[in-house]
Structure 1
Amino acid sequence: MTREEAATALDSNATEVRLQGARFFSRISETDDLQRIKAALRRETVPWIRRALLSAVARAEQAPPQQVAQLPSADDLGGLDAQQIFAKAAEEVADSLIHELAPVVGLLRVVLPKELDGAYESSQSRRYLDQLHGLMTAIRDLKRANAVPTYKQFTLAELIAEVIEAVPNPGGATIQPAGISRLIVSADKDQLRLAISNGLRNALEAVQLHSIAKPPKVVVTWGATQSENYVVIKDTGPGFNGDPAAALKLGATSKNGHVGFGLALAQQAMLSMQGDIALKNDEDGAHFEIRWFRDNENLIR
């Protein structure tokens, strides 16, 4: 899609066409695009298109004027756009960090137990090393969350079953899945997995610490409206401290030994697909909800 085609798309009566235009500008908007983007934003009522346009405004407001600094065209860069270049750079930086850190962490895991003579398991060194390992994992996940999404069709129930099986549940909390078994969705599967995994992991950690239900329970539901897909995770834990939205910030955590990346990574993964996350406290625990645009899907019950 060219810039002219994207500008025309913003005026379309078709939701899917406007979304394509909004996504184009969310990736490579410039200062000169601001007027048309803001005009489209004033008219737009569809939430996921508004989110893409807001991303476009933020990007354009940070961009230098065209006459001062002109980005290379996609043709000059072998078909890559600015977002793809950014994603590639982020991937290379993350890979370099992991490449340098992983051997050091691996060696420390071997050497420290020997040097501490059996005291390693209860030592501060182990706790700090576990935190470093968690940070490395978060760097990998941050790279994935910010990547340009690749949309594919798949069965949402199967992905959720895979997530439930893979997420640690040391407290043995009951996980109750409830949704349309054959709902086919269009999404970036890795980014959606990242978002659901972190939401479920947060819920399981919450009920392990405290639960109003015995045994502790987490309910995972999913489905689709006429325009959006959704996944909701509800737990019977103590809920979020203070403003739930604050939990979406990088580094926000109330748990000792956590880097505080989990829900922020989930949020970034959904924003990459022009989706969103909503957090709130209910009477019986916390409510974690993700939504994204429903595009070219088949609903089979």
Structure 2
Amino acid sequence: MVQLMSHRLLARLQRYWKVGSRHLKKGPTFTQGGTLVSESNEKFRRQLVSGVPRERLAAARFFSSHASASDLDHLQSALANESVTWIEGALKRAIIRADPDARFQPSIVVRQQTEDDHPEGYTTQVYAEALEVTSKQILHELEPLVGSARLAASREIPNFNESKTNAILSQLNDFMAAISRLRESASPPKTEEFHLDLTIDDLIGQTECGDDVVFQVSGKRPCTVDGDRGLVTLAFKNGLKNAIEAQQPELEGGSSRIVVTWGVTDVEYWISILDDGVGFAGNIIRAFEMGRTSKANHLGMGLAIAKQSMHSMNGDVTLTPRDKGMLYHMNWPKKAR
């Protein structure tokens, strides 16, 4: 029963992923153009009344995570004049964040939308919004059920900790953790300035791997960048984990090497992870589809989460086969000055 629930929920997320991926191919992704979270919200307030739907949705999604009481009048005014369903939903969540006592009547007006409501980049925002809302709902419904199932099973099953039921429930917990990371990857970027070189050093230092894996690190120091540190971390940790799992030190004379490099160009920041492991078996493009994996006991969500993390910042993640091993490359644009 628990396995069936897990498969059905994964299938539901896969449907959202496939629909969203088709939309993403129709136009370039949209940069939030975010200011630092600690700065004034004036730019996003102006975007609330923009004539471009994708800008209004970006602003509404930002405030759904960061609104305060001082934003309430602007949000209520924007909602009163909004005609696009997805933007209305994000505005309502923003208003509830600013005023937890706010209540809304169900809408009974069905609006006819035209192509003018969907300019380039708008589908990217809608997809991210749908992914974030759906994963939140799934977690809200699933977490208490799994908790209750674990409590009941621990009371009713002898030697529960060694039982197959416990192992399956642990897999379901891993699945919920992956959904949580997926939701995080689709959230509006919280742009800040941070030290990329020190962040990479910390993440490598926190990585669990054997002494037979050697890291070779090379990049710009100091390296101060703009971006969402949490989203960069999600994507980087996935690439590093895959590189470690691909290693076969027993075939390499007792050790293997992973090379991590990073840098800055005129228009973007980038990180590359090169490994000399077993490479990738299968279609590289389909590797980023949710639920696709060639590894035993893996959910197949890691690369999908990494891809969405970078898309949320208008960046990307790519995999390139090498003569031996893989190149995992992630990049995101500099903030407009």
TM-score between both structures, scaled by the size of structure 1? 0.65
The change in CA–CA distance for 1:107 and 1:201 in structure 2 (over 3 A counts) is farther
> Match for residue 27 of structure 1?
54
1:211–1:238 contact (8 Å) kept in structure 2 = no
Q: 2:54 is matched by which residue type in structure 1?
A: R
Asked whether the equivalents of residues 240 and 281 of structure 1 are also in contact (C-alpha less than 8 Å), the reply is yes
1:283 is displaced (CA, Å) by: 1.7
Does structure 1 residue 201 correspond to structure 2 residue 241? yes
- Between the aligned partners of 1:295 and 1:287, the Cα distance in structure 2 is 26
Number of aligned residue pairs: give it. Answer: 238
Distance in 2 between residues matched to 1:79 and 1:173, nearest whole Å: 46
Note if contact 1:112-1:120 (Cα within 8 Å) is conserved in structure 2: no
1:89/1:221 Cα in 2 relative to 1: closer, same or farther (>3 Å)? same
Task: Please give the alpha-carbon distance, in whole angstroms, between the structure 2 residues aligned to 1:161 and 1:242.
Answer: 32
Aligned equivalents of 1:213, 1:227: Cα separation in 2? 41
* Native 8 Å contact 1:173 1:215 kept in 2: yes
Aligned pair in 2 of structure 1 residues 110, 164: CA closer, same or farther (>3 Å)? Answer: farther
- The residue correspondences of 1:56-205 to structure 2 (distance < 5 A) are 70-71=83-84, 77=91, 90-91=131-132, 93-106=134-147, 117-118=158-159, 120-121=161-162, 124-169=164-209, 173-205=213-245
User: Structure 1 pair 208/129, CA: closer, same or farther in 2 (3 Å)?
Assistant: farther
Report the RMSD for the aligned CA atoms in angstroms: 3.9
Distance 2:253 2:264 in 1: 28
Aligned counterparts of 1:160 and 1:200: Cα–Cα separation in 2: 10
Aligned-partner Cα distance in 2 for 1:119–1:78 = 44
Contact kept, 8 Å, 2:192 with 2:228, in 1: the verdict is yes
Long gaps (5+) in structure 1: 1-17, 31-68
Q: Of 206, 209, 221, which residue of structure 1 is paired with 2:261? A: 221
How many percent of aligned residue pairs carry the same amino acid?
Answer: 32
CA shift digits 1:74-129 (9 cap, x unpaired) = 7994897x8888766754543443344334444555665676644854x5434422
- Partner Cα distance (1:117, 1:177) in 2: 49
Q: Summarize the Cα distance change of 1:296–1:180 in structure 2 as closer, same or farther, 3 Å threshold.
A: farther
Q: Is the 8 A contact 2:129 2:186 kept in 1?
A: no
Distance across 2 between alignment mates of 1:171 and 1:112? 39
**1:264 paired to 2:304:** yes
2-structure distance, mates of 1:75, 1:26: 11
Give 1:217 shift: 2.4
Report SS of the residue matched to 2:217. Answer: strand
Contact 1:131–1:258 (8 Å) recurs in 2: no
Distance 2:248 2:136 in 1: 33
Q: Which whole-Å deviations, capped at 9, do the CAs of 1:36-94 have from their partners, x for residues lacking one?
A: xxxxxxxxxxxxxxxxxxxxxxxxxxxxxxxxx941797994897x8888766754543
The residue type paired with residue 227 of structure 1 is: V
Deviates more, 1:137-146 or 1:238-247: 238-247
* Aligned partners of 2:212 and 2:254 also within 8 Å: no
Distance change (3 Å), C-alpha of 1:73 and 1:144: closer
Deviates more, 1:214-223 or 1:272-281: 214-223
Structure 2 unaligned segments of length 5 or more: list them: 1-30, 34-46, 58-81, 95-121
What is aligned with 1:273?
Answer: 313
Deviation at 1:179, TM superposition (A): 1.3
TM-score normalised by length of structure 2: 0.58
Cα–Cα, structure 1 residues 101 and 244, in superposed 2: closer, same or farther, change >3 Å?
same
Given residue 230 of structure 2, which amino acid in structure 1 is its aligned partner?
D
Q: Tell me, in whole angstroms, the C-alpha distance in 1 between the residues paired with 2:144 and 2:85.
A: 38
Q: Any conservation in 2 of the 1:230–1:291 contact (CA below 8 Å)?
A: yes
Which one has more relative contact order, counting CA pairs under 8 Å at least 6 apart? 2
Distance in 2 (alpha carbons) for counterparts of 1:216 and 1:195 = 22
| Matched AA of 1:273 | M
Shift of 1:145: 0.9
One-letter amino acid matched to 1:281: P
Amino acid at match of 2:139: I
Matches of 1:242 and 1:148, distance apart in 2:
32
Q: How many angstroms does 1:213 deviate by?
A: 6.3
Distance across 2 between alignment mates of 1:73 and 1:118:
49
| Aligned-partner SS, 1:263 | helix
